Amino acid sequence: MEKKQFSFSYIVIFIVILGLLFLPQLFSSEVRIKILNIFRVPLKVSSGIFYVLRDVSRFKELRDENKILRDNLSSLKKEMLNLQEAGLENQRLKDLLGFRDKEKRKFIPAMVIARDPLGLHDTIIIDKGKRDEVSKDMVVISGNGLVGRVRECGWSISRVLLITDCDSVLSAIVQRTREEGAVIGTRSGIIMKYLELDSSVKEGDRVMTSGFGDVFEKGILIGEVSSIEKDSSSLYMKAMIKPEVDIARLEEVLVIR
């Protein structure tokens, strides 16, 4: 009887080892996202419940926020009128000079329906996929700021790698000084590395995507410099960046097509 139990144990261990060796090859990231796609509807329902519960608990905060936004709205309306005037003037001048407009970007609105279950990676799942013409490496934004890029794409859901994830690296530029660097995600936030030692970057400077590389187009706002210090190697400066988007509270995003 004991011998039988032992042989069963060996079989189980053997199967687990085989699984460890071959399953990752069998189930590539594409297969995994397809399997996760099955859970799209229950995920949408449970995330909907979560957002409602969260909004109810933040009722007072939302009411105050609503009041501030209403105040801001009137001043923004005035500003919009001025900008419309400037836009018309800009168009007339462009026509005069024979400038051609760039192809206009298209946005696909998507809802955040899930996050990484273990809290080890900064990724989100959105409810748009290949069916909605979303594809790998498309840029994801929210409001004015950069959120990340599509990492895996299923039929009706996609996994987005956030800019705060440790695997996220992108080329960036400081808006005021035009200095370039690499924006890297860390567990404690995002950092802009490889700024020169005599860099004039200061707190409050805005950091945007530089457009180098194939993924991120130029001019998407990443965030503001919150502090700047020498790197531990003392070969360059690094700037801590406060992301423009509140990554922890993302509910809706826009995928740039």
Partner 1 sequence: MFFIWLILAGLLQLTFVMDLNLFVLLAVFPGLRKGPFAGLLMGAVTGIFVGFISASHFAVNIALYSLVGFLSGAVRAHIYYKENIFMEFVFSFCGVIIFYSAYFILTNTVKSSIFSTALFSAALSPLIFKIVKI
Positions in the binding site for partner 1 (CB under 8 A): 8-9, 12-13, 15-16, 19-21, 23-24, 27, 32, 35-36, 39, 42-43, 46-47, 49-50, 113-121, 123, 125, 151, 159, 161, 166, 187-188, 248
Smallest separation, CB 237 to partner 1 (Å) = 25
Match 């965030």 to its residue by tokens: 223
Q: Which is nearer to partner 1, 104 or 187 (CB)?
A: 187
Q: Which is nearer to partner 1, 19 or 219 (CB)?
A: 19
Smallest separation, CB 137 to partner 1 (Å) = 15
Q: Which is nearer to partner 1, 161 or 174 (CB)?
A: 161
Contacts 24+ apart (CB under 8 A), 87-94: none
Smallest separation, CB 253 to partner 1 (Å) = 16
Smallest separation, CB 15 to partner 1 (Å) = 8
DSSP 132: G
Q: Which is nearer to partner 1, 46 or 90 (CB)?
A: 46
Q: Which is nearer to partner 1, 28 or 72 (CB)?
A: 28
Listed residue (180, 257, 247) closest to 211, CA to CA: 180
The sign one gets for the Cα dihedral 207, 210, 213, 216 is: positive
Q: Which is nearer to partner 1, 13 or 197 (CB)?
A: 13
C-alpha neighbours within 13 Å on the C-beta side of residue 245:
24
Point out which residues pair with 161 in neighbouring strands: 123, 149
DSSP 28: -
Q: Is 241 helix (H, G, I), strand (E, B) or coil?
A: strand
Smallest separation, CB 185 to partner 1 (Å) = 12
SS3 labels along 148-188: EEEEEECCCCEEEEECCCCCCEEEEEECCCCCEEEEEEECC
Smallest separation, CB 186 to partner 1 (Å) = 10
